[in-house]
Amino acid sequence: MPENLKALRGRIKSINSTKKITRAMEMVSAAKLRKTEGIMKAARPFMERIQALLGRLAQSTFAQENALFQKSETGVPLLVVFTSDRGLAGAFNTNILKAAVKELKANPALKVFVIGRKGRDFMRRFHKDRIYKELTDLNGSLEGKVTDGIGDELLNGFLDGRFSQVELLYPHFVSTATNRPVVERYLPLEAEKFGVDPSQAGKSIDYILEPSPERVFEALMPRFLKSKIYLTLAETYTSEHSSRMLAMNNATKNSNELGGRLTLRLNKARQAAITTEIIEIVGGAEAQKG
């Protein structure tokens, strides 16, 4: 059966239009990736330094007795799931949601604070009764009021007994080609997280702080927790943009490959049509001679 030239031309035109869209999306994601990756890399050293300072204070008695280090006996365990508001990012959201489902199955009492429209839609469809709160349409915002609002919600909920513990599930950015979902304890705090040797807990601090180690510790802890949310969102956005950039790059390559195959089929069909016309003309001429 001969190829339909009009249909082939229509498919090639459609593929070329799609290729323009995927290439534009790739370029936009690459630009956003550079921005968020810069923010993330700038935030990581800050977190490391503040964590190192808190690590020195965390071995003291007043730190061990702080409410943030005590596991609450009331409330429910909470899992904060970070996803994106938009799709077309390969397996980015799928991997996070698979990890979330694994956590939900392991702990029937677990509630979910879902961030991102993709995570919200999935949880509403399959685990609606496990949703504690939803937060969507952040539009890639890394403003302090957004991250501080999330941090305050989690901190106050833990201190007033609504949550027995809080864990974060987010994509840890390793490289442009790699990010992996990780589950990290947020509250209560663990002394080991700050590099404190349990055998050294409760020992005195060998340096002077003003106004006092207790005041410095109490002032830094909320800031540390809010900064952790800031860095987590930065990692989420960076991983999202890198995943979308790679997905759109692959889509563009596939469009080029498919377009090339269809163009070859079109050229063959045109050649076949021309050959058929020539044969008909020659056959008609020969018939007139006869």
Q: What is the pLDDT of residue 206?
A: 56
- DSSP letter string, 238-259: HHHHHHHHHHHHHHHHHHHHHH
Q: Please report how many Cα atoms fall inside a 13 Å half-sphere around the Cα of residue 240, on the Cβ side.
A: 25
Give the H or E element holding residue 277.
helix 213-289
How is residue 243 written in tokens?
């995943």
Q: Which amino acid is at 257?
A: E
Q: What are phi and psi of 194, to 5 degrees?
A: -95, 10
Looking at the fold, whether 218 and 278 belong to one and the same domain comes out as no
Looking at the fold, whether 278 and 208 belong to one and the same domain comes out as no
What residues form DSSP beta bridges with 112?
A: 79, 131
**Whole-angstrom Cα distance, residue 260 to residue 15?**
10
How is residue 70 written in tokens?
């005590």
Looking at the fold, whether 129 and 265 belong to one and the same domain comes out as no
Residue with tokens 């947020």: 186
pLDDT tens for residues 192-243? 776 655 555 445 555 566 677 677 777 788 888 999 999 999 999 999 999 9
**Model confidence at 55: pLDDT above 80:** no
Q: Look at the chain and report how many structural domains it folds into.
A: 2
What residues form DSSP beta bridges with 78?
A: 111, 166
Looking at the fold, whether 37 and 134 belong to one and the same domain comes out as yes
Looking at the fold, whether 173 and 267 belong to one and the same domain comes out as no
Q: What is the rounded (10 degree) CA torsion for 84, 89, 90, 94?
A: 10
Contact 43, 231 (CB under 8 A): yes
pLDDT tens for residues 118-138? 999 999 999 999 999 999 988
C-alpha 263: how far from chain center: 37
Looking at the fold, whether 16 and 142 belong to one and the same domain comes out as no
Looking at the fold, whether 94 and 181 belong to one and the same domain comes out as yes
How is residue 225 written in tokens?
């927790």
pLDDT tens for residues 162-193? 999 999 999 999 998 999 999 999 998 877 77
A 10 A CB-CB count for 131 gives 16
CATH code, domain carrying 190: 3.40.1380.10
How is residue 65 written in tokens?
């007795």
CATH code, domain carrying 275: 1.10.287.80
pLDDT band at 290 (very low <50, low <70, confident <90, very high): low
pLDDT band at 38 (very low <50, low <70, confident <90, very high): very high
Q: Can you give the residue range of the structural domain that contains 125?
A: 31-245
Looking at the fold, whether 128 and 256 belong to one and the same domain comes out as no
Instruction: Of 164, 182, 216, 225, give the one whose Cα is nearest residue 58.
Output: 216
What is the chain's mean pLDDT, rounded?
Answer: 87
Peptide bond connecting 213 to the previous residue in cis, omega within 30 degrees of 0: no
Looking at the fold, whether 153 and 37 belong to one and the same domain comes out as yes
**Whole-angstrom Cα distance, residue 178 to residue 95?**
12
